[in-house]
């Protein structure tokens, strides 16, 4: 039998097996549904818990089978994408393994019909060349030889072609996948994961990792695949909703949302840092976003104080100031009075302080206070009885003395009646005092509402109390912060400190404490934001991906990764992704031209071999709208569908959107907070971060990009968004800094 027929038969067998499984599952589900109906009908309100449990376990079973069923159904059109032939050392024969998105086992033999891409053995496919290999599974090392690696082109369940490969790089499958259109959403890439990417996905899961990757190197994609791999490998320990993905904005969350179910991680939580901090720390005041500050920085309308405040509030120095401030708050929890019930001591102040400062030192302050309250309540309960008995005994003794010791009957009567009344009064007094003793004692403890407490730090006396060296910079921070607080706002740069304060004072609710955190576009985070997140979540399991060349919040973001490794994640692995997959060689060469002018020295991104047309420059002259229209129509004819007009500022975006609308071209203007993507958008560069489009039209008509760090980075971000085409529309070529770039890397049209 020829090889193609063999593979075709294998695919037919797999499909037939899957259909049988699906049918079995479906009839199983129908049967279960019926049974559950039965159970529900027969379930009366006071029925035995056994029945109830039976119903619950049916529901669980149904849920599992529905997940399995969905997986199976989604595999129908492409059950697997690759095969390896592996000869394990101790086995007499070599085996064939077909690798797909999820595994499928033969029910009788338990042998894999399809091997999950995340399984240890599948790593052999991504990692090595043909020949001797080894892999680890469940702590054991296996050795053997890979004699074949085969990729399949399967469309709608039909085998079109297959190809044997050695290294996974530059393979046809990758080329095919890259030449496809964006469609405006991120997609899964399990069949074409490259070696350097695979290393990131499978890097030690028990350690944090920091990845510096060029624009389009797959950082976002790879970070999500790593979560999928993490959940697969650690499914016994971690649940999807314990994962937290932090994205730069809500639009971006929308952009990645479609790929999550494909990777089986749809239940991972997704948020922006701002939303997470506001929700977790219960911040009520409106937030002046980092976009607002950036817009002011881009438009040059921000005062110097604003930039200084944004920078310093993200610094390690500010974290130290917050630490000292928090320590000073802690001191206010020292108690000077003993806990008394009437004149009886229940617990002395020293013992209570020891609980707070020593035994409960691992807990947030307010949690410690609650725990102390519980201790006092229980001690009071215990001792109250003894005290009442003691008081009663004292009066009883006095009564005895009066009854048997006093001779004068009148005096005795007065004395006895006095003692009886007094005894009752005293007991009643003590009982009454016991009811409020704990509550009134606890009033000694201070209460620190988060926002107000933070605000107090910026009052001169308080600030100088924790940071005596007063400089003009810190005075600027205080001025700027007080001005915002006076108007009822906080800056997004305050959120790290607020979250930090909340962590120490109140403690993060377990539901908000993610066990694994993925930070995308991490270069835009400040040192303190990442530090505060690490403290809030109390985990080291961070996957941090970013590109310093795209750090457009450079006045407050990170300008190196070393500080994170040194101070926050000492056990982190640092990895880089150099190859870029998104765009063509021609576009990447142009964008790379800008990197030379950046103050950070970063390696140039290496585009994988995919050519396209040269980036074009269109002068902004009469009739440009018509030419843009013709350009877009041309792209549509070529089959491209997602276009973005990227500007420097929001004002410019609004303007060009109107101009084109008048001309009859509909582009949707993307505003801050916008959540829905569309095929044709106008947006400023800072909002385009992380996104990609088939074609990008860079537009500039008022404020040219200058040879400044911020402008260079924004331009770099904008130029690296397209998959296929880049057109720059402006008054002069210089407006896009093209005079800095080799002239044969673009054409004027």
Ligand X SMILES: Nc1ncnc2c1ncn2[C@@H]1O[C@H](COP(=O)(O)OP(=O)(O)OP(=O)(O)O)[C@@H](O)[C@H]1O
* Known binding-site residue numbers: 213-220
Tokens of 206: 């028990």
> How many residues of this chain bind ligand X (CB under 6 A)?
24
Report the nearest approach of ligand X to the CB of residue 221 (Å): 3
217 touches ligand X by CB under 6 A: yes
Q: Pick the closest to residue 564 from 535, 599, 531, 603 (CA basis).
A: 531
190 touches ligand X by CB under 6 A: no
Binding-site member from 213, 306, 314, 607 for ligand X (CB under 6 A): 213
For residues 208 and 540, the answer to whether their CB atoms sit within 8 Å is yes
Q: How far is CA 476 from the centre of its chain?
A: 32
Residue nearer to ligand X on the CB measure, 534 or 582: 582
Q: With contacts defined by CB under 6 A, name the span among 187-195, 305-313, 427-435, 735-743 that binds ligand X.
A: 187-195
Q: How many residues does the chain have?
A: 749
Residue nearer to ligand X on the CB measure, 383 or 610: 610
181 touches ligand X by CB under 6 A: no
DSSP category for residue 493:
G
Strands (E), 467-531: 490-491, 516-519
Report the nearest approach of ligand X to the CB of residue 378 (Å): 54
197 touches ligand X by CB under 6 A: yes
DSSP string, 36-103: HHHHHHT--TT--HHHHHHHHHHHHHHHHHHHHHHHHHHHTT-S-SEEEEEEETTSSS-EEEEEESS-
Residue nearer to ligand X on the CB measure, 347 or 610: 610
Distance CA 294, CA 673 (A): 15
- DSSP helix/strand/coil, 623: coil
DSSP category for residue 218:
S
274 touches ligand X by CB under 6 A: no
Residue nearer to ligand X on the CB measure, 308 or 550: 550
Q: How far is CA 319 from the centre of its chain?
A: 21
DSSP category for residue 670:
P
225 touches ligand X by CB under 6 A: no
Residue nearer to ligand X on the CB measure, 347 or 713: 713
690 touches ligand X by CB under 6 A: yes
Distance CA 56, CA 11 (A): 38
List Cα–Cα distances, 438 to 193, 352, 379, 390, in angstroms.
62, 13, 10, 21
Residue nearer to ligand X on the CB measure, 178 or 480: 178
- DSSP helix/strand/coil, 527: helix
Q: Where are the alpha helices (DSSP H) in 340-364?
A: 349-354
692 touches ligand X by CB under 6 A: yes
592 touches ligand X by CB under 6 A: no
Residue nearer to ligand X on the CB measure, 692 or 711: 692
Residue nearer to ligand X on the CB measure, 262 or 654: 262
Q: With contacts defined by CB under 6 A, name the span among 77-85, 190-198, 266-274, 403-411 that binds ligand X.
A: 190-198
Residue nearer to ligand X on the CB measure, 305 or 524: 524
248 touches ligand X by CB under 6 A: no
193 touches ligand X by CB under 6 A: yes
Burial class from Cβ neighbours inside 10 Å (0-12, 13-18, 19+) for residue 225 reads buried
Question: Which residue lies nearest ligand X, judged by its C-beta?
Answer: 218
Cβ neighbours for 28, distance < 8 A, ≥ 6 positions apart:
65
- What residues numbered 547-566 form the site for ligand X, per CB under 6 A? 547, 550
116 touches ligand X by CB under 6 A: no
Report the nearest approach of ligand X to the CB of residue 239 (Å): 25
178 touches ligand X by CB under 6 A: yes
Report the nearest approach of ligand X to the CB of residue 99 (Å): 15
Residue nearer to ligand X on the CB measure, 202 or 219: 219
User: Looking up tokens 């393979």, which residue turns up?
Assistant: 171
Q: With contacts defined by CB under 6 A, name the span among 144-152, 171-179, 331-339, 462-470 that binds ligand X.
A: 171-179
523 touches ligand X by CB under 6 A: no
* Annotation: binding site for ATP: 213-220
Binding-site member from 582, 610, 648, 713 for ligand X (CB under 6 A): 582
168 touches ligand X by CB under 6 A: no
Q: Pick the closest to residue 649 from 694, 720, 715, 707 (CA basis).
A: 715
Report the nearest approach of ligand X to the CB of residue 30 (Å): 39
Q: Give the DSSP H/E element, type plus range, for residue 213.
A: strand 209-213
Residue nearer to ligand X on the CB measure, 215 or 312: 215
DSSP category for residue 149:
E
What track of x and - describes contact with ligand X for positions 124 through 153 (by CB under 6 A)? Answer: ------------------------------
Tokens of 490: 């906080």
For residues 587 and 727, the answer to whether their CB atoms sit within 8 Å is no
Q: Cβ atoms within 10 A of the Cβ of 506, count? A: 17
219 touches ligand X by CB under 6 A: yes
Chain residues binding ligand X by CB under 6 A are 174, 177-178, 187, 189, 192-194, 197, 213, 215-221, 547, 550, 581-582, 690, 692, 720
């Amino acid at each position: 039998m020829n090889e193609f027929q063999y593979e075709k038969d294998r695919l037919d067998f797999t499909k037939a097996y899957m259909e049988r499984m699906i049918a079995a599952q479906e009839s199983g589900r129908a049967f279960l549904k019926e049974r559950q109906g039965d159970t529900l009908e027969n379930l009366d309100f006071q029925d035995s818990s056994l029945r109830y449990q039976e119903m619950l376990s049916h529901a669980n079973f149904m849920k599992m089978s529905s997940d399995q069923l969905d997986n199976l159904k989604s595999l129908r059109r492409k059950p697997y994408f690759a095969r390896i032939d592996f000869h394990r050392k101790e086995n007499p024969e070599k085996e064939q393994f077909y690798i797909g998105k999820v595994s499928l086992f033969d029910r009788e033999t338990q042998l894999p019909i399809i091997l999950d891409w995340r399984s240890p053995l599948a790593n052999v496919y991504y990692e090595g060349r043909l020949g001797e290999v080894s892999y680890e599974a469940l702590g054991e090392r296996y050795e053997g030889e890979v004699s074949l690696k085969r990729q399949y082109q399967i469309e709608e369940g039909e085998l079109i072609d297959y190809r044997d490969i050695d290294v996974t790089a530059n393979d046809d499958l990758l080329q095919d996948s890259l030449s496809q259109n964006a469609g405006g959403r991120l997609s899964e890439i399990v069949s074409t994961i490259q070696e350097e990417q695979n290393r990131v996905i499978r890097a030690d899961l028990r350690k944090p990792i920091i990845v510096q990757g060029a624009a389009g190197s797959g950082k976002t994609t790879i970070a999500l695949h790593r979560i999928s791999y993490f959940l697969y490998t650690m499914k016994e320990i971690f649940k999807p909703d314990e994962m937290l993905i932090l994205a730069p904005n809500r639009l971006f969350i929308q952009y990645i949302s479609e790929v999550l179910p494909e990777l089986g991680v749809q239940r991972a939580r997704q948020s922006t840092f701002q939303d997470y901090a506001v929700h977790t720390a219960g911040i009520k005041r409106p937030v002046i976003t980092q976009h607002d500050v950036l817009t002011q920085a881009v438009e040059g309308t921000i005062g110097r104080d604003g930039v200084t405040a944004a920078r310093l509030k993200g610094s390690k120095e500010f974290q130290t100031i917050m630490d000292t401030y928090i320590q000073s708050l802690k001191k206010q929890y020292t108690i000077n009075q003993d806990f008394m019930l009437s004149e009886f001591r229940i617990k002395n102040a020293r013992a209570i302080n020891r609980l707070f400062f020593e035994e409960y030192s691992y807990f947030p302050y307010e949690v410690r206070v609650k725990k102390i309250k519980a201790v006092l309540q229980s001690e009071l309960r215990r001792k109250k009885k003894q005290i009442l008995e003691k008081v009663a005994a004292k009066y009883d003794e006095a009564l005895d003395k009066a009854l048997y010791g006093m001779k004068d009957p009148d005096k005795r009567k007065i004395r006895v009646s006095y003692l009886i009344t007094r005894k009752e009064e005293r007991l009643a007094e003590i009982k009454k005092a016991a009811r409020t003793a704990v509550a009134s004692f606890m009033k000694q403890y201070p209460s620190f509402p988060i926002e107000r407490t933070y605000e107090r730090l910026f009052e001169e006396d308080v600030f100088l109390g924790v940071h005596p060296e007063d400089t003009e910079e810190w005075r600027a921070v205080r001025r700027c912060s007080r001005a915002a607080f006076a108007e009822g706002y906080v800056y997004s740069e305050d959120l790290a400190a607020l979250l930090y304060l909340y962590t120490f004072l109140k403690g993060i609710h377990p539901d908000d404490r993610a066990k694994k955190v993925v930070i995308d576009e991490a270069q835009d985070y400040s040192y303190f934001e990442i530090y505060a997140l690490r403290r809030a979540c109390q985990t080291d399991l961070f996957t941090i991906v970013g590109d310093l060349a795209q750090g457009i919040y450079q006045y407050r973001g990170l300008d190196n990764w070393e500080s994170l490794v040194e101070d926050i994640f000492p056990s982190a692995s640092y990895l880089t992704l150099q190859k870029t997959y998104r765009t063509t060689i021609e576009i990447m060469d142009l964008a790379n031209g800008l990197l030379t002018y950046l103050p950070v020295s970063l390696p140039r991104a290496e585009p994988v071999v995919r050519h396209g047309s040269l980036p074009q420059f269109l002068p902004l002259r009469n009739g440009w709208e018509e030419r843009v229209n013709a350009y877009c129509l041309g792209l549509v004819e070529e089959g491209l569908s997602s276009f973005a007009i990227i500007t420097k500022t929001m004002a410019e975006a609004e303007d060009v959107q109107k101009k084109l609308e008048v001309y009859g071209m509909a582009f949707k203007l993307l505003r801050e907070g916008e959540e829905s993507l569309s095929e044709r958008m106008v947006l400023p560069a800072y909002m385009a971060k992380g996104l990609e489009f088939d074609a990008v039209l860079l537009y500039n008509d008022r404020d040219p990009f200058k040879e400044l760090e911020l402008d260079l980075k924004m331009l770099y971000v904008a130029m690296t968004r397209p998959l296929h085409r880049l057109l720059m529309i402006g008054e002069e070529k210089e407006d896009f800094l093209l005079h800095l770039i080799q002239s044969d890397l673009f054409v004027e049209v």
